[in-house]
Chain A
Amino acid sequence: MVPLWMYLAVAAALFSLGVFGVLARRNAVAILMSVELMLNAVNINLVAFWRYSETSTDLLLNGYAFTAFVLIVAAAEAAVGLAIIITVYRNRRSVIPEEAVALKG
């Protein structure tokens, strides 16, 4: 069996990759993809904790069910986020978030 901390280490690495992508990438679609990476890193953690904790015997499905809900949220986020990117592109011909500053004070 692979020890728990290895899963957590991989999840930490994936999360950091996602953070780097969000901070450094210019294109809004790439930023959205990096956010998906971060969400999945969280999912690895949730499932790993669920699997390795003693409570999984008595139907406490917290980790399992939470992962399912994170997936739903990720889907909703992708749908709305991409729709916003498309609309901003249509109005401003740009997919760079720094250039979409119309709502700034």
Chain B
Amino acid sequence: MELNAITIGFVVFTIFTLGGGFGVVTTRNLFQGTIWLMVSLFGVAGYFILLSAPFLAAVQILVYIGAIAILITFAVMLTRSVTRIKERYIRIVPSFIGSLLLFLILLFGVTVPIFGGHLPESAPQYVASTRDLGIALVDENGYVVPFLLASVLLTAAMIGAIVIARDEKAKGG
């Protein structure tokens, strides 16, 4: 691997993604955990840019850092998760062994043997643009059904979450 903008970017975003992920599963303080999660997801957005999908990167930033981060923060405050739980883990040893095994299987059992040398190292030159996505999303031969189903899902999620979260007996605070 030569040293150029892409490889530098890849290394930086890997540090962000995995470092942030490590922070999420280890930090005691859940507000800091939220920030770690955002660091990790920012790294994933960086990957999307390296993979020529800048629209998805923008969506990632907007949805996660703009909305889900705020939502998780609100939930952390509402449940006082920051201060209440002293012990972080249950069944830590079996979980650790299990996830380590999973990682090794995924890496050396699936990824390296199948994709290590067989797929082309260079990607196709032509990249679909946001306009192509827009046309495909609402095309009858494209993704119009999942597109509308997604809309139904969002509506259902919003209605459901409002019904669940709303407190009939008003509370001060």
Contact = CB atoms under 8 A, between A and B. Distances in A.
Interface of A: 1-10, 12-21, 23-27, 29-30, 32-34, 36-37, 40, 43-44, 47-48, 50-52, 54, 56-57, 59, 61, 64-65, 67-69, 71-80, 82-87, 89-90, 95-96, 98
A54 B124 contact: yes
Interface string B1-41: 10000110010001001100110110000100110010011
Judged by DSSP, the binding face of A is helix
Contact of B63 (A19, A27, A71): A71
Contacts of A77: 157
Given A2-B6, A21-B25, A75-B67, 17 more contacts: A10-B17, A12-B107, A14-B17, A14-B21, A30-B81, A47-B51, A50-B53, A57-B126, A64-B128, A65-B136, A65-B146, A68-B137, A69-B143, A76-B156, A77-B157, A85-B79, A87-B164
A81 B139 CA distance: 32
Contacts of B94: 23
Contact of A79 (B34, B71, B107, B116): B71
B98 A23 contact: yes
A83 B161 contact: yes
Interface of B is mostly: helix
Given A24-B91, A95-B79, A17 B25 contact: yes
B121 A3 contact: yes
A67 B34 CA distance: 22
B24 A71 contact: no
Given A4-B115, A76-B154, A79-B161, A20 B47 contact: no
Nearest to A62: B143
Given A17-B24, A19-B98, A27-B81, A40 B153 contact: no
11 contacts: A1-B122, A14-B40, A16-B99, A20-B95, A24-B25, A47-B53, A51-B51, A51-B123, A78-B71, A90-B167, A95-B79
A59 B17 CA distance: 29
